[in-house]
Chain A
Amino acid sequence: MKAISRTSTIICVAAIAMVLVALPAQLAAQAVASKSYDRSGGPAMQWSIQVNRVDAGDEELPYFFQVAIYENLLEELNKTEQFKQVFRDGNRNASGVSSLLVLQTTIEKYVPGSETRRAVTTVSGATKLSVRAQLLTRDGKVVIERKVNGNVRFFGDNLRATQNLARNIAKEIKQGRWDLANAPSPGNS
């Protein structure tokens, strides 16, 4: 009886040890797979991206806000390391890249805030930005489309809203599901 229980204990310990050894290796393999491939199965790192200038739409967005969103987008997309190259609007080198996606950002709503009002009241004076971010192929097919917000509610100056917005757009692109069904494969021109 004692021998049976000892054997079962040994088997249990061995099984636990095997699981503990095998699990981290499996998790690491999954992490590598999720990093180098997007959810649609295509290799995300094979794409390059061109960030277009921000379209203010019908909103009266100050010009420096538009420029700040554009510059912050370039920085945040570089930080994600999701793309092979990140091109600026107008960059001639982008025309020679076959696997190029274009990020188009259009302002949908802008509520101008006030840093002073935030500091005095805490609850009012938030700067709010809402944009439609579209990731398009060169021939205009939408790969991903999201409505993204960027606000500054309590602390910080008004331009901080642009930084938050750019970070949220980069996060959406990184985590979102890409519709690459109609897009040309990145290797082909």
Chain B
Amino acid sequence: MTHLFVRRNHVGVCFSGALIVRIWGLLLCSSLAALAQSAPPSNIANPPLSIPAMHLLGMKDTKRNCYGTLSIQDNALQFRQRGKPSAQVNTTSIQAIVLGSESKQVGGVPMKLGKAAAPFGSGRIVSLIAHKKHDILTVEYVDSDGGVHGAIFQLAKEQGELVRDSLKARGVSPGSDEDRSTKRSTTEVMDESN
């Protein structure tokens, strides 16, 4: 009996100990899971974005018509020219973002000279096919004195939406003239197809 009692008692102690360990483990796992769910959602919801772009005008201390990288990190919209410090705008100061589109000739000045030099006006035929449609992203923001600035970027087609959506996710409201720009781009496409 004594032996039985002692054995049963030993089993009971082991059982309760294992139960406590299991409960602690369960609590630890659930709290870790809760911590994992609550800590990084800002990074998952608003991942940093970085895409090649051309700065047309408007960013402070940045050349016009220069290529670089447009990125959104934390709460800043940045444009970095190769080998130069980046110009940035805080997303809280952005008042509007408007997306438009524009068709441009490709190749720059060398292509223009080549087309001009081509015999029998064949350069004109090249012009017919050597054009590309770009997204034009306009960002309107205010400086510390309340003065309104406008920055315009040229992006590859459909890249503008990525930037706009990323800015929207950070609480930037799109501009009211969005519909107007869409309307215009449609008319231009029709115009160019004629």
Q: Which residues on A are within 8 Å of B, measured CB to CB?
A: 53, 60-64, 67-68, 70-72, 87-93, 112, 114-117, 119-121, 155, 157-159
Chain B residues with Cβ below 8 Å from A70 are 148, 150
Q: Are A119 and B105 closer than 8 Å at their CB atoms?
A: yes
4 tightest A-B CB contacts, nearest first? A88-B147, A67-B150, A119-B127, A91-B147
Q: Are A120 and B58 closer than 8 Å at their CB atoms?
A: no
Q: How far is the CA of A159 from the CA of B150 in the complex (A)?
A: 14
Q: Which of B10-18, B20-28, B30-38, B137-145 contacts A (4 or more CB under 8 A)?
A: B137-145
Assuming the A-B contacts A63-B181, A67-B140, A116-B192, are A159 and B56 also in contact, with contact meaning beta carbons closer than 8 angstroms in the complex? yes
Contact of B188 among A63, A68, A114 (CB under 8 A): A114
Chain A residues with Cβ below 8 Å from B103 are 114-116
Q: Are B184 and A88 closer than 8 Å at their CB atoms?
A: no
Q: Are A71 and B127 closer than 8 Å at their CB atoms?
A: no
Assuming the A-B contacts A63-B175, A114-B191, A119-B105, are A87 and B147 also in contact, with contact meaning beta carbons closer than 8 angstroms in the complex? yes
B102 within 8 A of A: yes
Q: Are A63 and B177 closer than 8 Å at their CB atoms?
A: yes
Assuming the A-B contacts A71-B57, A90-B147, A112-B184, are A157 and B104 also in contact, with contact meaning beta carbons closer than 8 angstroms in the complex? yes
Q: Are A120 and B191 closer than 8 Å at their CB atoms?
A: no
Q: Are A64 and B145 closer than 8 Å at their CB atoms?
A: no
Q: How far is the CA of A61 from the CA of B180 in the complex (A)?
A: 8
**Most central of A88, A92, A112 by chain B CB within 10 Å:** A88
Q: How far is the CA of A87 from the CA of B145 in the complex (A)?
A: 10
Chain A residues with Cβ below 8 Å from B138 are 63-64, 67
Q: Are A92 and B146 closer than 8 Å at their CB atoms?
A: yes
Q: How far is the CA of A60 from the CA of B100 in the complex (A)?
A: 13
Q: Are A64 and B98 closer than 8 Å at their CB atoms?
A: yes
Assuming the A-B contacts A53-B148, A119-B115, A120-B124, are A114 and B192 also in contact, with contact meaning beta carbons closer than 8 angstroms in the complex? yes
Chain B residues with Cβ below 8 Å from A87 are 147
Q: Are B145 and A91 closer than 8 Å at their CB atoms?
A: yes
Contact of B104 among A67, A90, A93, A115 (CB under 8 A): A115
B185 to chain A, nearest CB (A): 8
B178 to chain A, nearest CB (A): 8
Q: How far is the CA of A88 from the CA of B150 in the complex (A)?
A: 11
Q: Are B145 and A93 closer than 8 Å at their CB atoms?
A: yes
A174 to chain B, nearest CB (A): 22
Q: How far is the CA of A93 from the CA of B147 in the complex (A)?
A: 9
Chain B residues with Cβ below 8 Å from A120 are 124, 127-128
B183 within 8 A of A: yes
Contacts A90-B142, A119-B127 aside, 11 further interface pairs with beta carbons under 8 A come to A61-B184, A62-B100, A64-B102, A70-B148, A88-B145, A112-B184, A112-B191, A114-B188, A114-B192, A119-B115, A120-B124
Q: Are B191 and A71 closer than 8 Å at their CB atoms?
A: no
Chain A residues with Cβ below 8 Å from B181 are 62-64
Contact of A64 among B104, B127, B131, B136 (CB under 8 A): B136
